[in-house]
Amino acid sequence: MSGTLAPETVQPHLRGRFGEPYLYEPECESTQLRLIGSGLSEGAVAATDHQTNGRGRLGRTWLEAPGTSVLVSVLLEPPAERRLPELSLVAALATAETVEHAVALAAQIKWPNDVMLNRRKVAGILSELGDGKVVVGIGLNVNQTREELPLEAPTEPGSLYSLTGARYDRAVLLGSLLSQLERSYDIWREHGLDGLYGEVGARDFLRGRRVTVDGKRGTALQITREGRLEIESDAHEVRTVESGEVEFER
């Protein structure tokens, strides 16, 4: 394992209010479970170098080889007037910006919660609600070789290493991710998704692509200002989708 996400390696890279407290275990079932129902307050962070039962969206499992990824959960207490489904896009934007800063390539957001680099999924976001608080979990594939990436996944996975050939310091990435998340979250708290719409829209991976959602085919038009996905059917009917899994054609 190259490096760890132990507090002594990560805390020098923490710049803002996220990461107080910073809970770390070398291995745990899921970082989400360390925060859900914990009674902790906004800004609490849980990180690990390996999850034995990492949680993905739609009841899936999130798999990684030990010591290869950024695996982090952040506890947030959003204002009541904000639409919670937008939070995954806020976190996806922060993750995309972190990736771009690290690898100097453009990253995209695949609605509603994936981060793409060179058409591969390099990160996934899982937002879970408990006690009126939201735990946002981010899994970023960093140093996996191609062989270490899951063989079967709905969206073809990649890691920063498999796509660029360079290894990255996970503690530095985590510090940068938490800063970016704090920035985008604060803008969202104040202005809603409208405040980030230009940045999200510019990274919309699905825009203009042929997609299938809930068995229905069409062309993705855009992520709306409310964080929904707008799709035009082949009969030119436009509908918006609130949540779900999108398959795209290459």
List of residues 6+ apart from 210 with CB closer than 8 A: 217, 218, 219, 248, 249
Tokens (6 digits) for 132: 């009126």
CA–CA separation, 38 and 243 (whole Å): 27
Beta carbon nearer to ligand BTN, 41 or 61: 61
Q: What is the DSSP letter of 51?
A: B
CA–CA separation, 109 and 100 (whole Å): 12
Pairing label, strands 216-223, 210-213: antiparallel
71 binds ligand BTN (CB under 6 A): yes
Helix (H) or strand (E) holding 135: strand 133-141
Number of helices (H), then strands (E), in the chain = 6, 14
Q: What is the CB neighbour count within 10 angstroms for residue 214?
A: 8
55 binds ligand BTN (CB under 6 A): yes
CB of 12 to ligand BTN, least distance (A): 22
CB of 99 to ligand BTN, least distance (A): 15
Looking at 7, 21, 56, 150, which residue binds ligand BTN (CB under 6 A)?
Answer: 56
Beta carbon nearer to ligand BTN, 78 or 124: 124
Interface map 171-210 toward ligand BTN (x if CB under 6 A): ----------------------------------------
Q: Which stretch binds ligand BTN (CB under 6 A): 1-9, 121-129, 175-183, 214-222?
A: 121-129
108 binds ligand BTN (CB under 6 A): no
Beta carbon nearer to ligand BTN, 70 or 102: 70
60 binds ligand BTN (CB under 6 A): yes
Strand partners, 92: none
CB of 49 to ligand BTN, least distance (A): 11
Q: Which stretch binds ligand BTN (CB under 6 A): 11-19, 26-34, 77-85, 160-168?
A: 26-34
- Residue 62, CB-side half-sphere exposure with 13 Å CA sphere: 28
CB of 138 to ligand BTN, least distance (A): 6
**CA-based radius of gyration for the chain:** 17
- Positions touching ligand BTN (CB under 6 A) are 30-32, 51, 54-57, 60, 62, 71-73, 113-114, 124-126, 137-139
